[in-house]
Amino acid sequence: MWKDDVLAHPVTPYEERRRAIEAEPLPENIGALIDAAAAEAGDRVLWNFFDSGETITYEAMRTRVNGLARALVRLGITKGTHVGVMLPNIAAFPLTWLALGRIGAVMLPINPGYRPREIAHVMNTAEAEWVVAHADTRAVLDTARAEGLVSLPAERMILLGGDIPPGGHDWEALAATPAERFEPPAPVGHDDLLNIQFTSGTSGFPKGCMLSQRYWISSGKVNAFRDGRRFSRILASTPFFYMDPQWLLLMTLYQRGTLFVAARQSTSRFSGWLKEHGIEFCLLPWVLHGMAPQPHDADNRVIRANIYGCPRDLHAGLEARFDLNAREAFGMTEIGPAMFAPIERPDKVGSGSCGVPCPFRECRIVDEAGTPLPPGEIGELQIRGPGIMLGYYNNPAATAEVLRDGWFSTGDLFRCDEEGFYTIVGRKKDMIRRSAENIAAREVETVLTAAPGVAEVAVVGVPDALRGEEVKAYLKLREGLAPGPDVLAAVIATAEAGLAPFKVPRFYAFVEEFPRTASLKIAKPQITAGVADLRAGAWDRVSGAWVSGETA
């Protein structure tokens, strides 16, 4: 098997790799990383947007970024200028980001699928001074401006495709003239801001994380070298406004490889992409387990796949089905990569562990008072290290809540074993309180996801006069399956076999699809928003009947 062949090749022990990564100086800034990569890999293809056919070499990227940066400076975009970027997955997105990085300007990534209110939240919170938009996404931006939600004159708009309004600027014209050299208007260093990257917003309004040049440079380096392997063909299947394709691009620059970029995420096409493009590194969505098997699933050359939050009972099966090394990792917008399971540790597959701390990161588990806990104890995960976020932009209260003495409080409950491997237990704020017992929604979701026919699960608390809260499970079934009594019975049986009686959900509801964040996580607040009675329309395990009323 290919994944076994990969493991047969020895690697330097992780602690040695970690020390080497931390000891080697980082590039001075994004521009220096671009120059070094282009000098070494000039004629190689840097990226391939395979749905549109857009490709570029390292050297052509360097000179085009330089030319675009010069044109943006002539417009008045300089160090520290805040620029909203609302583009689909096309080459203009990374070209714009890298040009802003060379200047020392700040990118505010905006989801092209946002509605006017959401665009206004991002642009106003982050104090956008300019915006780069695509013809396909411009209508909603124009609506936000017409409704007075966003105050941005046409003279501060850079548009790609379609008609350019009077005073506006044509992105294609700005990017049309390559330049051999570019000198930034002011020095750009590690601690200068590069992104105001908004969180996915799984709870409350998204917050703008202030991410420095160091954050991105170190994130790319850590992901490129932590396994001691060579990844020459890397897949980015999620939108560039989300952080993953950004660090995957920087990882590619360090590896002098090629980034293969999808126009949009697709679980049905994912394994086909791995085969067609000879991918060696990817982020594997564990929800692929819910897709019907395809003949080519195991026909790939993946050396390592990162997998995030995979239910432990599904992990080994996914590795076997796709014949690759899928290793857990953990990170957040605020901190970048935080921990990972080394590729040489197949014994951790299915353990539920997120791994050990990445280079440049320290982790610890603390109690409610902030006192470090010994191995085996459950508490909140805190992380620190050079390059974590500088804070939440325009939100000092939220910043003070999570950043203390250099430590970032994640809000996640973890435990650490004697070997230094960390395992997530659940979210501090995603707990259900039933009859004085705390139930971690994540634990229940992990057990139920392994039930026959189940693809994904979201567990929430239902107000209850007697017990405070009861547990409700929303179930999405695997492709081709329909809800029915046999499926429901199997889910309940799985819950009863794997959970203490008080954790077994009382209520069950089926959904065709979950609302999702920009990073494709299940957006739980949207599931329950505006629902007066969460019991209505659900199966009640205790009464053995469907609760009357509108479907929850």
Same domain for 313 and 437?
A: no
Q: What is the CATH number of the domain that holds 480?
A: 3.30.300.30
What string of DSSP letters covers 265-279?
A: --HHHHHHHHHHTT-
Asked whether residue 385 is assigned to any structural domain, the reply reads no
Residue 268, φ and ψ in degrees, nearest 5: -70, -25
**Do 322 and 437 sit in the same domain of this protein?**
no
- 314 and 185 belong to one structural domain: yes
Residue listed under structure tokens 């010069």: 70
In a domain, 395, yes or no: no
- Mean of the pLDDT values across residues 352-371? 96
**Residue 323 sits in the same domain as residue 438:** no
Structural domain contains residue 484:
yes
β-pairing verdict for 281-283 and 304-307: parallel
Pseudo-torsion of CA 356, 362, 364, 368, nearest 10°? -140
The number of distinct structural domains making up the chain is 2
161 and 14 in a single domain? The answer is yes
Q: Is residue 314 part of a domain?
A: yes
CA distance 379 to 390: 24
Q: Which two tokens stand for residue 146?
A: 């017409």
Structure token digits, residue 241: 């406004």
The DSSP code sequence of 286-354 is GGGGGSPP-TTTT----SEEEE-S--HHHHHHHHHHHTS-EEEEEEETTTEEEEE--TT-GGGTTS-EE
Q: Rounded distance, CA 27 to CA 323, Å? A: 36
- One domain, residues 462 and 315: no
* Parent domain of 186: 2-286+299-328
State whether 309 and 436 are in the same domain. Answer: no
**pLDDT tens-digit map of 98-136:** 999 999 999 999 988 888 888 998 999 999 999 999 998
Domain boundary among 328, 346, 379: 328
In a domain, 291, yes or no: no
Three-state SS string over 69-102 comes to: HHHHHHHCCCCCCEEEEECCCCCHHHHHHHHHHH
Backbone phi, psi, residue 353, to 5°: -75, 140
Residues 313 and 455 both lie in one domain: no
Asked whether the beta carbons of 360 and 320 are under 8 A apart, the reply is no
Single out the residue of 406, 361, 355, 402 nearest to residue 380, CA to CA. Answer: 402
Asked if 313 contacts 448 with a C-beta cutoff of 8 angstroms, the reply is: no
Best CA proximity match to 448, nearest among 428, 481, 474: 474
Q: Which residues partner with 408 through β-bridges?
A: 383, 403
Mean pLDDT of the chain: 93
Query: Other CB atoms closer than 10 Å to residue 151's CB: what's the count?
Result: 12
Q: pLDDT tens, 270-302?
A: 999 999 999 999 999 988 988 889 999 999 999
* CATH at residue 21: 3.40.50.12780
| pLDDT mean over 60-64 | 98
Q: What is the pLDDT of residues 247-260, one digit of tens each?
A: 999 999 999 999 99
Interval 183-202: pLDDT, tens: 999 999 999 999 999 986 54
Nearest to 472 by CA among 507, 437, 497, 442: 507
Residue 96 lies in a domain: yes
Determine the Cα–Cα distance for residues 297 and 293; give it in Å rounded to an integer.
Answer: 7
On whether residue 361 sits in a domain, the answer given is no
Residue with the two structure tokens 């050990």 = 356
Query: pLDDT-based confidence at 530, cuts 50/70/90?
Result: confident
Indicate whether 264 belongs to any domain. yes
What integer is the mean pLDDT of 371-375? Answer: 96
Considering the entire predicted model, what is its pTM? Answer: 0.85
| Mean pLDDT calculated for residue range 164-171 | 94
Whether residues 18 and 133 share a domain: the answer is yes
Judge if 316 and 437 occupy the same domain: no
